[in-house]
Structure 1
Amino acid sequence: MGMKLRTVIYSGKVEIDNVPVYTCKTCSRSEVFPVVKTDLTGLIGKLGAQPEKQSFRFDDWNEWANILVEACDARNKQPNPTFVDRLAGERIDMLLDLYSLAEKLGDEEWKNDISKRLTQLSHTASIHRSAIAQ
C-alpha cells in the first residue's frame, strides 16, 4: 500500500485536507496512516457529533503531515522520500532549538507544545520510508 495525502470527510460536513492515508492500488482500499490516527480522532472529537460545515488542514494539527505537505509533488500529492528525510531532520533541529529557548524562558505551555510536535515526528520517523516509497 502506498501513502498519499487525501481529504477525509467527517459527518458529511467537515473536510479535513492533507491527511496521510495508505491506499491500495489493487483494491482501492484506504486507511489513515496509523501514527496520525490519534491526532485525527482528537480533531474529530473536538468537532462534536453535529459539526457545522467547515474545512481544516490536517497539516496545521500534525507535524508529520506538515512535513509531508512540504515534501509533496503537487500534482499527485505523493511525498518525495528524499525531501521528507531532509525536512524531518531540519524540523527536529529547529524544534530542539525552540525547546531550549522555551526552557530558558520558563514557558511550560510552549515546551509542552514543542514536546508534542517532537513526539509526532519521532513516532513516524522509523516507519515513513516504507510507506512513502511504495
Structure 2
Amino acid sequence: MLLFCRCGQAMTLSFRMLVFENMYQIDLVPILECEDCSTYELIPSFKQDVTKLLAELKEQQREGRVIFTSVNELASVLYDVYKSGQELLEVSSFNAFLIEKCEERINLLLDLYGYASKEGDADWMEAISFRLSSLSSFVKKRQFLETK
C-alpha cells in the first residue's frame, strides 16, 4: 500500500500497541509507518473507534490490554489482509482487495446471523449485527484511506 509521509518517503501498513496513561493498552491498532523518519500515524478511519474504545475502558475502569482486532471488525479484516502480504499493493488495488475481503466477511457473518436466528439467540444476533454494521458502512463508502 503506497502512501507518502510528510518527509516524502513511502509509508507502510503496520499494527502497534497504543498505551494511554500507562494504564490502557490497545494492541493491534492499524497504523501507517514511515521507516525513513520513524514516524507513524493512526489510520484516519480508525481514530473515532480507538477514541470510543478508550472512553469505554476508562468508564468501566478496565485497565490492561485489549486486542483492537477483536473489537473492531474492519481492523480484523485489515489484519488478515496484512498477514497475507497484500499490504504491498498500490492503494487502488489494496482498497479493491480489502473491499473483497470485507464482502467475504459480511457473507460469513450473515450466515452466522441466520444460524443464530434459527437458534433463537438474540444476544448472538445483536453481536453479529454490531459486527456487520461497521463492515457494511465501509463497503458502502468504498474508500479506506482518506486523503489529506
TM-score for both structures, normalised by structure 2: 0.65
Displacement of 1:122 in angstroms is 1.6
Letter of the 2:16 partner, please give it.
Answer: R
In 2, Cα distance between the equivalents of 1:42 and 1:32? 15
Contact 1:11 1:51 in 2 (8 A): no
In structure 2, what is the Cα distance between the partners aligned to 1:13 and 1:74?
Answer: 32
Length-normalised TM-score, structure 1: 0.71
For 2:30 and 2:105, the matched residues in 1 are separated by: 18
Instruction: Answer yes or no: is 1:110 the counterpart of 2:128.
Output: no
Amino acid at match of 1:89: E
- What is the Cα deviation at residue 43 of structure 1? 2.2
Deviations 1:36-72 (A, max 9, x none): 33432332123227764x3222001100010111111
Counterpart in the other structure of 1:37: 47
Aligned to 2:6: none
Unaligned runs of 5+ in 2: 4-10
Matches of 2:44 and 2:71, distance apart in 1: 15
Aligned partners of 2:24 and 2:54 also within 8 Å: no
Report if aligned partners of 2:113, 2:125 keep a CA contact under 8 Å in 1.
yes
Whole-angstrom CA distance in 1 between matches of 2:105 and 2:82 = 16
Higher RCO (CA-CA < 8 Å; seq separation 6+): 1
In structure 1, stretches of 5+ residues that fail to align are none
Aligned to 2:79: 69
Q: How many residues are paired up?
A: 127
Alignment of 1:1-134 (within 5 A): 4=13, 5-22=15-32, 28=39, 30-34=41-45, 36-48=46-58, 52=63, 54-73=64-83, 78=87, 81=94, 83-125=97-139, 126-128=142-144, 131=145
SS at match of 2:22: coil
SS in 2 for 1:21: strand
Quote the Cα distance in structure 1 between the aligned partners of 2:88 and 2:73: 14
Q: Which piece of structure 1 moves more, 110-119 or 17-26? A: 17-26
Q: Following the alignment from structure 2 to structure 1, what is the Cα–Cα distance between the partners of residues 68 and 88?
A: 15
